[in-house]
Structure formats: C-alpha cells, structure tokens
Amino acid sequence: MNETVPALRIQNLSKRYGRTVALDGVSFDVPRNQTFALLGPNGAGKTTLMHILCTILKPDSGVAEIAGFDVVKDPLEARDRLGIVFQEPSLDDRLTVRENLNIHGLVYGVPQSLRRERIAEMLELVELTDWADKPARSLSSGMKRRVEIARALIHDSEIMLLDEPTVGLDAQSRQRIWEYVRRLQKERQLTVLVTTHYIEEVETCDQVCIIDNGAVLAIDSPGALRHRQGEQLLKFVPRTEADRIEILNRFSDRLALLQGTTEIALKADDDFIESFLDQFGNRVRSLSTEVPSLETAFLSLTGRKLRDRDADAREVTLAFGKRGGEHTR
C-alpha cells in the first residue's frame, strides 16, 4: 500500500443519462484513513458516483482511481481494495448469516482457514455471533445492515463505500451502525466514503463534500463549512397576516427559509436582531435564533432541503413492494 497515493482520486468525472447530467466535472481526492461524506439531495449525483467507483458504471469522461488503480482500466485491482455496502439490501435471504459471509470470501479468493477466522472476527465485531447460523430473512433491517458491513471486510478491504447505509433504520440502529463504522475505521485504518441524507451523521467526518445537480459546491471539514457557509438565523411567527406581509416585503433580501406556513427565517447577525426587535418585537408571537450549522450551510449552498423531490419510479416500486410484503406476513 503506497501511503503517498490517495485512497480515492476523482478527476473531472462526468456522466449523462440522455439529456440529464448526473455528474458534471466532479473532482476531489480522499486521503487515506479518513471518513469522507458526500452530502446532497436526491438526484444530486451521489449514487451515480458510487456506482462508477464500484465499477458498475463507466464514466463518460474523467478519471476515477481506487488506491491508484483506474476503475475503467484496472477494474479487478480496484474492486479488490473495496468493501461495499449498497443502498439497497443485497443479502441472500435464503442463506444463513455465516453462508452469506462465506460466499463473499469465496468470490474474493480468501483461503478457507482465513475465511473462518475473519467471519468469526467480523460477527463478533457487529455483535451477531449468536445469529451466525440463522437465515438472513430472520434478521431486522438494522441487523442486516450490520451483516453487510461485516461482509464488506471479509476480504481485508482498504476502502469502504457506504451508499446511504442507515436509510430507513430507526435512530438506535443508525447510531449502532455508525459506532461500528468508526470503530472499524480506527482499528483497521480504513478509508470510508459515505453518502447520506442525515446531516447529523456527517458531523464527525473528516471532510464533507456538498454536491448538487452533479457538481461539487464545497469541500471542507464540518467545522469549516459551518463557519464559512453557515448563517445565523432569526426565526419567528408573525402575529397577523398583515405583519407577515410587511416583514416579508421589508426583509426580502434576508429571507433564508420558509418552514411550513407560519414560521419565517431571516439571515441575521447580532446587530440585525437588535434592530429587528426594536422595530417588530411587538408584532411576532414567538422568536428564536439558530446558530450556524451544517444544515444552514447546506441550505445556503443548495437552496433546498436534502429530500425535496418526489420518489422516482424505482423508489415507488420498492416502497410498494415493502408495504405489500409487510401486509401479507
């Protein structure tokens, strides 16, 4: 392993689907032994980028390298260094947990004795040793995710790609998944690239890349992004519709975000807040301030929330299938 070569190198990567631009000249490096997050709304290009790194898709132009290996020219070398947890569940529900892990080790050519050792090690890590010989279909969604994380490391991967690993999980399961990821990253010197819709999950990442419409908008540490892009907000509910209209007209240049139908948020600093209270303090029902956060940084860059489009046909089909499955059990 050449420590001078970045774990991931993306240079001017582009991909189109017909007239739709999925990636538009994306470039960044991910240093080794870091946790790097891709943060963006639906349709931003995150999963397309992940599929290119996994060698599932080929880019239209540009270069993507895994530990120095080009994903197009040397796909097998690139794959050998990757552990992948896809957005959609990918376990074989008919097999046991141990059999799922064993087949993965066989595919990657891990010798039998080493497979046994690593399967035992990974099951202990994700606290599923007692479930090793249970069929995968008997596991909860959170437990299945833990199996997929264990499976991704059976072949001693250097780099882990996590495509929305906690989507659809309850808060407790999400927390546990991240505990395992951070422990693995520290103990095994892993590089982790993760996509997520949950802003709070990237607070402890080394770097965050905000991406939208296939383009990189900002890359920095969470703290630096908050400081550089985040804005203090003044949030309030006007007493009357007349007050609401007057305030919106008066401060249209400071409008940051409308939440629901009553609350208004204005970009603010301490001097503005004092001036606002002098002028309109008796014309609001409630008032609060919000200090700069990753969410406000994200909103200032993209102008929209993480999930702000309707589900596409594939997502609707999957959701319908899951509801139907639950109904017929």
Instruction: Please name each of the domains of the chain with its CATH number.
Output: 8-221 (3.40.50.300), 231-291 (3.30.70.790)
One-letter amino acid for residue 124 of the chain = E
Quote the distance between the C-alpha of residue 311 and its chain's center: 17
Predicted confidence at residue 320, as pLDDT, reads 37
Tokens of 24: 């538009």
CA dist 65 and 70 (Å) reads: 4
For 173-193, b/e burial (b = at least 16 CB within 10 A) is bbebbbebbeebbeeeebbbb
Predicted confidence at residue 98, as pLDDT, reads 96
- Which residues of the chain are under the pLDDT cut of 50? 308-329
Residues 6+ apart with CB under 8 A from 146: 126, 127, 128, 176, 177, 180
Q: Kind of pairing, strands 159-163 and 191-196?
A: parallel
Tokens of 97: 């947990």
Return the residue matching tokens 């999950």. Answer: 201
SS3 (DSSP) at 326:
helix
Q: Are 98 and 122 in contact (CB under 8 A)?
A: no
Q: Are 222 and 57 in contact (CB under 8 A)?
A: no
Q: Are 256 and 299 in contact (CB under 8 A)?
A: yes
Distances (CA, A) of 159 to 2, 146, 184: 14, 17, 11
Angle at 63 between CA 59 and CA 68, to 5 degrees: 130
Helix H or strand E segment including 233: strand 233-238
Say what the alpha-carbon torsion angle 319, 192, 114, 79 is, to the nearest 10 degrees: 80
44: nearest Cα among 175, 223, 164, 159: 164
CA dist 322 and 237 (Å) reads: 39
Predicted confidence at residue 322, as pLDDT, reads 41
Predicted confidence at residue 329, as pLDDT, reads 30
Predicted confidence at residue 125, as pLDDT, reads 87
User: What backbone torsions phi and psi does residue 287 show, to the nearest 5 degrees?
Assistant: -150, 140
Predicted confidence at residue 313, as pLDDT, reads 39
Distances (CA, A) of 118 to 26, 155, 264: 36, 8, 54
Question: Global pTM?
Answer: 0.76
CA dist 324 and 301 (Å) reads: 38
User: What backbone torsions phi and psi does residue 311 show, to the nearest 5 degrees?
Assistant: -60, 145
The alpha carbons of the chain give a radius of gyration, in whole angstroms, of 23
Return the residue matching tokens 């990821």. Answer: 181
Predicted confidence at residue 185, as pLDDT, reads 86
